[in-house]
Amino acid sequence: MSIEIDIKKFPEYPEISNLLQGLLDDNSLLNSKVLFLKAVLKSIIHLNSLGKTLKLDELATSSIKMIEEAE
């Protein structure tokens, strides 16, 4: 899901434009993290369907590590 905001609607209010740009940037970053996490979870489901099992702590640790490396 993406948000479309026209930041050029407020040329007389640069503070609002800057705030909206910051929101757009944050939304984009969060969206990319969600997509990455979705890919990680799909990989886990795939591995489990092949008979591989992962312990929950290993799953959480590896997911956090992968997300931190992506930043």
Tell me how many degrees the CA angle 27-32-17 measures, rounded to the nearest 5.
25
Residue 55's pLDDT band (cuts 50, 70, 90): confident
Mean pLDDT for all residues in the chain: 78
Contact between 34 and 1 under an 8 Å Cβ cutoff? The reply is no
Would you say the pTM of this structure is higher than 0.75?
Answer: no
Domain ranges (residues) in the chain? 33-71
Please, which residues have CB within 8 angstroms of residue 67's CB and are 6 or more apart in sequence? 33, 36, 37, 40
pLDDT at 1 over 70: no
